[in-house]
Chains A and B, each alone.
Chain A
Amino acid sequence: MLQSSRAPEQYNMLWLQAGSCGGCTMAALEQGAAGWFAELEAFGIHVLWHPSLSEETGEDARDILASVLDGRQRLDLLCVEGSILRGPNGTGLFNKLAGTGRTMLDWVRDLAPLAAYCVAVGSCAAFGGIPAGAPDPTEACGLQYDATFPGGALPDDYRSRNGLPVINISGCAPHPGWIMETLAALRMGEFGVEDLDSFGRPRFYAKTLAHHGCERNEYYEFKASAEKFSDLGCMMEHLGCKATQAVGDCNQRGWNGGGSCTHGGFSCVACTSPGFEDAREFLRTPKIGGIPVGLPTDMPKAWFIALAALSKSATPKRVKQNSTSDRVVVSPRPAKGPSV
């Protein structure tokens, strides 16, 4: 039935969950004004099987996987969500695909060479993510990276059938748009190696820092810092915010109708970055001699310190007072003189 009912031009997406929390699927389900399924259909992407969504279960699901392995079904998009668990001792036994007696490590290694494109959905599948944090009890890694190091469950030189390395939609969880726009761009044949950054992340969302467009921008400019959570000020100096060091258009597109981490009042933990899980004291800024250790990416340290000192001395009273309050206590004063 599987062979006969599937026209050759059908564009098949197979989605697997490895050492996953399922949150990337939950995020994907937030995509699209008409719903994610409608959007997949609009772009001509057929869900061959998805563990959270498909009707087929047990033996029927195993048949679908077998049909991919033996070539009866063409595999276009292989999406993997979750870390690949190599433990204990390289056996992969911390994560078997139920009913198959085989580890996800083996399944991924068998399926990835068959896929036109292999997509790591989320930071776990991309780089290892939270399960890979020290002491890394499950020997977790990403598909083609182990934190910042090339080579994960698949070797560094892995290329999918269409010649791309694993596409890493990092984020914990990624924005729904990052997921769908990547899948659709692949489907449209408009996605090439030049669209990936140095960690295999789609540049369309990874080309700026998460800080870009942050609504706390004015506080950042004047180094008017929040001292505790719920304060309005910039969270970089004291509360561990890494938005100036992590990629993402997080503050340029809304999350859940207009949110973002910094909008929600809490620090960016750099969830799009490989190895983000190994930070210690996520919610406090490490400092040496009172100066934050992690300064903005690309910015010369001496300049940052000089500019910070200068802008602190020029901070308007309004910005300073609001920065340590949970609501605006001083409003902007109208300019003196005739209005324009």
Chain B
Amino acid sequence: MTETIVGPFNRVEGDLEVGLDIVDGRVESARVTTTLYRGFEQLLVGRAAMDALVIAPRICGICSVSQSVAAAAALRALSGVTAAPNGLIATNIAHAAENVADHLTHFYLFFMPDFARAEYAARPWFEPVARRFRAISGEAMGEVLPARKRWLEVMGVIAGKWPHSLAFQPGGVTRAIDLGERVRLLALIDEFRVFVERGLFGAPLEEILSLESLDELEAYAASSSGDFAAFLRLSRDLGLDRLGHGPGAFLSFGAYHGPDGSLFPAGRLDQGESLPLETSDIGEDVARAWFRASAKHPSESETSPIADKRGGYSWAKAPRLGGKPAEVGAVARQLVAGHPLISDLVRRAGGAGVRVRIVARVLEIAQLAHAMVGWTRALRLKEPFNVDVPRPDDGRGAGLVEAARGALGHWMAVRDKKIARHQIIAPTTWNFSPRDAEGRPGPLETALAGLDVGERGAKAAIIQHVVRSFDPCMVCTAH
């Protein structure tokens, strides 16, 4: 048995290496390697507490608002202040804009181009799909990139620029929205609605939001000319619902925390059973990661790299919940929230695989475009958008949010106005974790094991589909 190394594994935001043991056309086991370590947790220590707002977003260029929002939430928690309600709402609008942009980018730029591969030339759906989704030259690119650019003008209104903004503060946001800007935001959101209804969904937003079962989804797929429907039809042909099942444990920190609760609840599920989420059960194992062992909980742990550690194979630590791996992302958010469509898809497929991960994300585009209208209208334009937060002297706090790709946590400790500890667990740290001391594989390692790759071996497109169905962000993973 020889290990085949796949890499550079592109269209994953960053770089990835996957080692596959393939026997008789079947993946026996997989090893997932994060190849980049930039040392952010070391960079943050010793800095002024508020400097986290400058450093942390630069962990990730695709989910920088998520990183900002988590750092601001940690600072808010350790300062014990209450943010201006408008600030939380404006943050949610910008955060949702980023997450929608990420879902759109993933679908069109990262995921769908794999169906234009020559390997699929004989499939009945190939010609139109290849014409539309081919990497860089596909006809959809000419529609999606301008729409994405326009959509990110939401950031020009709220965040100054994207990526890497300082607008998101413990007390709210740095800029009050006026009446004209409320109108501009609503116009941008509605322009985006028209775009996704025409191209992505080929159906009104309401129709997507009302889908509650696999049967209804199939009926939509048969009747719509949208890109999402095209994906569902080829997914049925290729059996993508059965591919790439993860560990069956899911975690969500809950998303879009506003003055009146959250749009998505926090929680966990294990093999279909809903369990309370105890964040004290979170720990990071470094048995197979290139780091020195330390305390496991992120409020106590240290980050100390050793590039030549024996047995190590990744710059990612292995987060575990109650000692076990968990899958995070849109599918986890939707399952924890009990969304009927996503729950039905997982039940009918016997687990969460490639198809439902895509469906959960695309569904979220519709949900967020809808929620953003409500948030924009809910801003009270005569009230403040930020409250001044004194620089924290000492304290500990956690900022737990959902990035596009899933649960993102920042655990901060401040002593004498300086950051004493700043530990980060990013979504893809969960999903693409290496094995732990018990030998338990990470979610992607589980999802790849057992794949029938046939004669194409490591070049089989299904490997690409399974890996990219998680929408990995490798720059976040080890950070």
Query: Which residues does A use to contact B, with CB under 8 Å?
Result: 17, 19-27, 29-38, 47, 50-59, 61-62, 83, 85, 88, 91, 93-100, 129-131, 133-135, 137-138, 140, 172-173, 227-230, 254-267, 269, 271, 280-284, 326-327
* Complex interface bits, B86-121 against A, C-beta within 8 A gives 1, otherwise 0: 000000000000000000010001100110110000
- Contact in complex: B458, A58 (CB < 8 Å): yes
Partner of B161, one of A25, A98, A260: A260
- Contact in complex: A261, B136 (CB < 8 Å): no
- Contact in complex: B176, A230 (CB < 8 Å): yes
Chain A residues with Cβ below 8 Å from B172 are 230
A229-B174 contact given A32-B149, A256-B161, A263-B160, CB 8 Å threshold = yes
- Contact in complex: B156, A228 (CB < 8 Å): no
Report the minimal beta-carbon distance from A262 to chain B, rounded to whole angstroms. 8
**A264→B68 CA distance, assembly (Å):** 15
Interface locus among B31-39, B206-214, B362-370: B31-39
Closest Cβ neighbor of A226 among chain B residues? B174
Chain A residues with Cβ below 8 Å from B300 are none
Tell me, yes or no, whether B411 is within 8 Å of chain A by CB: no
**A289→B166 CA distance, assembly (Å):** 28
- Contact in complex: A17, B15 (CB < 8 Å): yes
Closest Cβ neighbor of A235 among chain B residues? B174
Partner of B39, one of A30, A97, A138: A138
A130-B58 contact given A58-B6, A283-B50, CB 8 Å threshold = yes
17 A-B residue pairs with CB within 8 Å:
A22-B60, A30-B162, A33-B149, A35-B146, A53-B109, A54-B10, A54-B136, A55-B116, A57-B6, A58-B458, A94-B305, A98-B7, A98-B17, A173-B61, A255-B161, A256-B161, A327-B178
Report the minimal beta-carbon distance from B146 to chain A, rounded to whole angstroms. 5
Chain B residues with Cβ below 8 Å from A52 are 10-11, 13, 109-110
Closest Cβ neighbor of A260 among chain B residues? B160
Tell me, yes or no, whether B55 is within 8 Å of chain A by CB: yes
Report the minimal beta-carbon distance from A63 to chain B, rounded to whole angstroms. 12
Chain A residues with Cβ below 8 Å from B166 are 261, 264, 266-267, 269, 283
Chain A residues with Cβ below 8 Å from B59 are 21
Tell me, yes or no, whether B182 is within 8 Å of chain A by CB: no
Chain B residues with Cβ below 8 Å from A135 are 42-43, 46
Tell me, yes or no, whether B157 is within 8 Å of chain A by CB: yes
**A258→B55 CA distance, assembly (Å):** 24
Chain B residues with Cβ below 8 Å from A172 are 58, 164
- Contact in complex: B62, A230 (CB < 8 Å): no
Report the minimal beta-carbon distance from A270 to chain B, rounded to whole angstroms. 11
Chain B residues with Cβ below 8 Å from A266 are 160, 165-167, 174
- Contact in complex: B152, A55 (CB < 8 Å): no
Q: Which 8 A-B pairs have the closest CB atoms?
A: A264-B160, A23-B61, A99-B7, A98-B7, A35-B145, A265-B174, A257-B153, A259-B156
Tell me, yes or no, whether B265 is within 8 Å of chain A by CB: no
**A33→B166 CA distance, assembly (Å):** 26
Tell me, yes or no, whether B230 is within 8 Å of chain A by CB: no
**A194→B8 CA distance, assembly (Å):** 37
Chain A residues with Cβ below 8 Å from B141 are 35, 37-38
Partner of B307, one of A50, A94, A259: A94
- Contact in complex: A256, B152 (CB < 8 Å): yes
**A156→B49 CA distance, assembly (Å):** 36
* Complex interface bits, B416-450 against A, C-beta within 8 A gives 1, otherwise 0: 00000000000000000000000000000000000
Closest Cβ neighbor of B67 among chain A residues? A21
- Contact in complex: A281, B51 (CB < 8 Å): yes
Report the minimal beta-carbon distance from B394 to chain A, rounded to whole angstroms. 17
- Additional A-B contact list (19), CB under 8 Å, known A27-B163, A94-B36, A262-B160: A19-B36, A22-B13, A35-B146, A36-B145, A55-B135, A55-B136, A56-B10, A88-B305, A88-B307, A98-B17, A137-B42, A230-B173, A254-B156, A258-B156, A264-B166, A266-B166, A266-B174, A269-B166, A281-B50
**A59→B13 CA distance, assembly (Å):** 18
Closest Cβ neighbor of A266 among chain B residues? B166
Chain B residues with Cβ below 8 Å from A263 are 156, 160, 175
- Contact in complex: A259, B160 (CB < 8 Å): yes
Report the minimal beta-carbon distance from A89 to chain B, rounded to whole angstroms. 9
Chain B residues with Cβ below 8 Å from A98 are 5, 7-9, 15-17, 33, 35
- Contact in complex: B38, A19 (CB < 8 Å): yes
- Contact in complex: A131, B161 (CB < 8 Å): no
- Contact in complex: B173, A265 (CB < 8 Å): yes
Chain B residues with Cβ below 8 Å from A20 are 14, 61, 475
**A94→B42 CA distance, assembly (Å):** 14
- Contact in complex: A326, B50 (CB < 8 Å): no
